[in-house]
Structure formats: C-alpha cells, structure tokens
Structure 1
Amino acid sequence: MSPTTLQGAMAMVGCCTIWGLSPLYYKYLDFVPPLELLAHRTLWSLVFFGLIQAVRGRLHIVVQALRPGRPLVLCALAAMLISVNWFVFISAIQGGRGVEASLGYYIFPLVAVAIGRVVFGERLGPLAWLAIALACLGVTLLTVGLRAAPWVALILAISFGLYGAVKKTLLVGALASVTAEVTLLAPLALAWLWFGVQGAGAFGQGWAEAGLLIFSGPLTAVPLMLFGTASRGLTMASVGIIGYLNPTLQFICAAFIFGEVVTGWHLVAFAFIWTALALYSGAMLRRPRKRAQVAGTFDAVPPSR
C-alpha cells in the first residue's frame, strides 16, 4: 500500500468515525429543539467554512458559486436538500429513531446508483440491478412488518441522493459549494433564532451550552476535509466501501448505546440491504480503477453529517 493510499484510507476511516459517532453529539443536545440546533449548525458551519476558505484564499470561488443564474439556482436547490437531510437526521436521533436513520445511510448508495441511472443515464450491470432489487425488497418487508413505511430512512436516502445529483453538476469544490449553501441558509437560520427562539434559546444558557453549539461548525467541516483527502488517495469504490462504517457506527449507537428497539423485521430488512451492498461492492471492486472512479461518484458524496 502506497503512502498516499494509506493516508487516504486513514482519512476515510477518520471522517466516517466522526460521522458515525455524531449521533452521540445530537442525542446529548436533545434539550435543544431540532430547528434551533439546525439553525446553529448552519451558522457555525458558515463561520468555520468561511474562515477555512479565507485562509486558503478561495472566497472568490464561493462568490462564483453564488452568481445569479444556473450556479445560484443549483446552490439553492442543494441548500434546500441538505437542510432537509440535516433536520430529519437531527430529529430522528433526538426522537429515538436512530436505527431507522442508519438504515437510510445504508440505502443511500443504492438510491444514488438508481438516480444515476435515471437522471444521468449511467449504465448498471446485473449485480447493481440485483442489489437495488434486494434493497427495495428489504424496505418493502420492513414496511409490511411494521405496518408503516420507514419514512425517516427513505427521506434521508432520497434527499441525500438528490443532493449528490445536484452537487455532481456544480463546477466548484466540495468545501466551496457547502460554504455557498450555508451562506444561502444563514438568513433563514438567523430569522428562526430571532423570531422563533426570541433570544431564549440554549445558546444563552451558559458557556457549556454555547460551546457545544459552536462545536457543530467543526463537527461539520473536519470530516468533510478528511473526506477530501480520502477521495484524492483512494478509488471511489474503496471510498464507498469504507463509507459503510458510517451507518454501522450509527446503528451501534442507536441499538447498543441509546437502547432503541431492533425488531425482527429490522433485522430482516438489514440482512437484505447488507446483502445488496455486498453484491454491489463486490462488483465495484472487480472493475478497473478508472471505471470504479466513475461508477462510484455518488457513493463518494459525503453525507455531511
């Protein structure tokens, strides 16, 4: 293994560990309502991302992404999708639905592959089709067994799949585009904290609470920077496969730390989805490096946990 590959693998494990353990942070802050926490995450992410871009001398790229016309429309659409994703994830963790949230991020790579086929006309092999079919069957069985669709998982997977599709068309880097997105969301976040919370929120309760809310900025930015390092040193297939560490840690947090109920139907659904991911991952690993990079584009889109 070359030093670059080793560095990439370590970076990917690091970012997925942070993403996978992030439910511990949001669960600890369950005294902060989801919308208020989302507003703080947006604002402190903007501060942190803005500082990084300023130090790197790349604020002009953010400005370019916010130009009127197609770039602005795409950034606004991406901002809407990621805010929905963040809000649903935070609400799920605080509401005791972390197992279902982890299911969403297991489903996401296969949803992204399906979007790639429908939106971009990307070709799928037989194993990819079989993997998608098995994932659909798993979700269907869970819906029948629980007599309710796993809406949290579906919203997380679909919203982030569509987010990845939008990001694929943006001609700016990941950090610049996320900075542009939170810039667009910042006025809404400020409005909510001013009118919705009216100064009585968690930020004013003490230094500890304020520090925890500010921490949402680096919690969002650091794994994204690690992901950038990983994507440069690894094939996209490897990035996608190591990425399954994220929902696995989320599942462990929900089931074994938070004590959420895992039914037999959940286990059946997970078994189908894990099988689907194993089939798809095996197909990806057998492809040459260049093809794997193309086919793994969506798998590599960071979940921005």
Structure 2
Amino acid sequence: MNQLRLGYLYGLGAYVLWGFFPLYIKLLRPTGAVEILAHRVIWSVAFVALILAATRHWAFLRALVRQPRLLTGIATAAVLIGVNWGVYIYGVNANRVVETALGYFINPLVVVLLGVTVLRERLRATQWTALGIGGLAVVVIAIDYGQPPYIALTLALSFGGYGLLKKRLGLPATEGLFVESALLALPALGYLAWLTWHSELSFGHGSATHTTLLVLAGAATAIPLLLFAGAANRLPLTSLGMLQYLTPSLQLVLGVLIFHEPMPPARLAGFALVWLALIVFTADAIRHARRSARATVHAVAVTEPV
C-alpha cells in the first residue's frame, strides 16, 4: 500500500472515530463531565506511557527539562486541550451535540482568524468573504438560541489555539500528548481524590462494563490523535482539510437523528451559512494550492538546465 493511500486510511480512521465519540461519552453516564475528563486525562497518560515504553522514546523528557520556554508552551497547550475536552464532554452530556458539531464546523474559520490576529497573516478577498459569512452564521444561530453559542465558540477557539501552539512547538504526536496529559494529571488526580473523600466517585462503584469504559477513555483519546498524526505526515494539507469536515458532519447526524435534538428552521439556516462559508473557504484553498503548485512547476522548468 502506497503512503498516500495509507494517509487517507489514517485520516478517515481518525475523523470517523472523533465523529462517533459522542456515542462513547453517552455510555459513560451517569458519571459527571468533570470526572469523565479526569479519567480521560489519567488513562491517556497511562496508555501513551505504554506506547513510549514499547518504542523506548523517553529521551525527549531530558531535553524538555532544559527548555523552560518549551515547557511553558506545552503547559499552555495542555490547558487549551483540557478546556476543549471538558467543554465537549459537558456539551454531549447536556444534550447539545449539535452545538458541539457547530464548534468543529467553524473551527477552520477560527484558525484563519487566529492567523490574522496572532500571526499577522494577510488574507485574500475570498477568505475575508468566508469569514464574513461565518460571522453572520454565528449571529443567526445566536438569535435562534437566544444567546451566543458558547459551547461551539469555546470549542472552536480552544482547539484553534491548541492547533496554533502545536504548530509552533513542533512536538511529535505521541510525546506531545504524553506531556500534555501528564501536566493535567495532577489536578485530575486531585479531583478524583476529592470525589473519593466525599463518597461521590463513580469509578469502581458501577458495573464492570462502566469501569472498563472509563479506563478505555485513554485509548479512545490517544488512538485518533495518533491516526491523525499519521495522516498529517502523508497527506497534502488540502486533502486533510477536506477530511476534517467528516467529524462534525457525523456529530450533526448523531445529534439530530440519534439523540433527537431540535433543528428549527432558523438554526438550520445558520448551519447552511456555515456550510456556505466552508465551501467558499475550501474552494479558495484548493484554487490557491493548485496555483502555487503550477508556479512551482514553472519555476523548476525555468531554472532546470537544458
């Protein structure tokens, strides 16, 4: 199997698993959102530690100790992904899967906005158009909800900021996830200890299936991230960008058809605007990538010796 096809398989695997993740979270009830988050963090550390032990990739820890600025960046990334995980779990448990899907639909537009505000990047006119349509969509949906879609906006901003930091840090996926989870593990353990002290811990007090599912939250977190890393290393950015819409699409279908969440006309109109913004944004990205590829080929042809 060639590397491109393998990249597509990895990408599909990652985005499909993320798309069906609400089903997994629903299985963890009646455990509360914060306890689920704590287990997700702790068992992620354990799962990734096993992978690192098997592959003997521990040398990076010694290098990290000597780079306080890098550690600070990883700690910030850990906070952002912790917020993202926690809000996502809360959204699913609060029967707002449709709103969590909205967050990941608008995430690409938030990433572009962060590029303008943080990295001082200049946008093309089409990208500004996509951002404008996306902003209008958020306004329409906010009017429908009677308030801004806080869950969606928090998910989009936290994951967008996390992606920006990860790009700057340049850590490998497995090592990065281990350090981020390890930094979050201490408060997670503290929270579980507090629940135990107050006799409110659900772990170990339900069925064996429920306890096993909480333990497997680590694998359920790490496996899609590792698949995504494999896809990112093999696929063009435009292909990866197209695949990413699979996750919120599946979540939207789950929210409406499986969990029977409401989709009134005004909210549907807001989602239609989001999809229009993404079509404009994706079409511009594909056109720009093709133009850049043609320019590169032309430059090589001009400079190639006869």
Check whether TM > 0.5. yes
Alignment match, 2:303: none
CA gap of 1:291–1:26, structure 2 versus 1, over 3 A, is farther
Helix, strand or coil for the counterpart of 2:118? helix
The more displaced of 156-165 and 94-103 is 156-165
Alignment match, 1:101: 100
- AA matched with 1:216: A
- AA matched with 1:286: R
Question: Is the Cα–Cα contact under 8 Å of residues 146 and 265 in structure 1 kept in the other structure?
Answer: no
Alignment match, 2:298: none
Helix, strand or coil for the counterpart of 1:261? coil
1:196-275 counterparts in 2 under 5 A?
196-198=195-197, 200-205=200-205, 206-275=207-276
Distance 1:38 1:62 in 2: 25
Distance 1:263 1:100 in 2: 13
- AA matched with 2:275: W
Alignment match, 2:296: none
Alignment match, 1:41: 40
The more displaced of 28-37 and 98-107 is 28-37
Alignment match, 2:284: 283
Measured after TM superposition, the shift of residue 73 of structure 1 is 0.9
Measured after TM superposition, the shift of residue 291 of structure 1 is 5.8
Question: Is the Cα–Cα contact under 8 Å of residues 202 and 209 in structure 1 kept in the other structure?
Answer: no
Question: Is the Cα–Cα contact under 8 Å of residues 66 and 75 in structure 1 kept in the other structure?
Answer: no
Measured after TM superposition, the shift of residue 123 of structure 1 is 2.8
Distance 1:37 1:64 in 2: 32
CA gap of 1:145–1:31, structure 2 versus 1, over 3 A, is same
Helix, strand or coil for the counterpart of 1:234? coil
CA gap of 1:276–1:65, structure 2 versus 1, over 3 A, is farther
Measured after TM superposition, the shift of residue 10 of structure 1 is 1.5
Measured after TM superposition, the shift of residue 182 of structure 1 is 0.6
Helix, strand or coil for the counterpart of 2:288? coil
The more displaced of 11-20 and 112-121 is 112-121
Measured after TM superposition, the shift of residue 64 of structure 1 is 3.2
Question: Is the Cα–Cα contact under 8 Å of residues 65 and 177 in structure 1 kept in the other structure?
Answer: no
1:117-266 counterparts in 2 under 5 A?
117-198=116-197, 200-205=200-205, 206-266=207-267
The more displaced of 180-189 and 143-152 is 143-152
CA gap of 1:189–1:235, structure 2 versus 1, over 3 A, is same
Measured after TM superposition, the shift of residue 200 of structure 1 is 4.4
- AA matched with 1:261: P
Question: Is the Cα–Cα contact under 8 Å of residues 49 and 179 in structure 1 kept in the other structure?
Answer: yes
Deviations 1:128-164 (A, max 9, x none): 1111110000001111233211000001001111111
CA gap of 1:280–1:50, structure 2 versus 1, over 3 A, is same
Distance 1:65 1:115 in 2: 27
Distance 1:101 1:276 in 2: 18
User: Unpaired runs of 5+ in structure 1?
Assistant: 293-305
- AA matched with 2:241: G
CA gap of 1:67–1:177, structure 2 versus 1, over 3 A, is farther
Question: Is the Cα–Cα contact under 8 Å of residues 101 and 156 in structure 1 kept in the other structure?
Answer: yes
Distance 2:102 2:66 in 1: 37
Alignment match, 2:22: 23
Measured after TM superposition, the shift of residue 122 of structure 1 is 2.4
- AA matched with 1:256: L
The more displaced of 194-203 and 149-158 is 194-203
User: Unpaired runs of 5+ in structure 2?
Assistant: 294-306
Distance 1:39 1:160 in 2: 19
- AA matched with 1:95: A
For normalisation by structure 1, the TM-score amounts to: 0.91
Alignment match, 1:298: none
Distance 1:211 1:67 in 2: 38
CA gap of 1:43–1:264, structure 2 versus 1, over 3 A, is same
In percent, how many aligned pairs have the same letter? Answer: 36
- AA matched with 1:122: E
Distance 1:13 1:140 in 2: 32
Distance 1:21 1:203 in 2: 23
Distance 1:10 1:220 in 2: 18
1:56 aligns with 2:55: yes
How many residue pairs are counted as aligned between the two chains?
291
Measured after TM superposition, the shift of residue 62 of structure 1 is 4.0
Distance 1:172 1:72 in 2: 11
Cα RMSD over matched residues?
1.8
- AA matched with 1:254: G
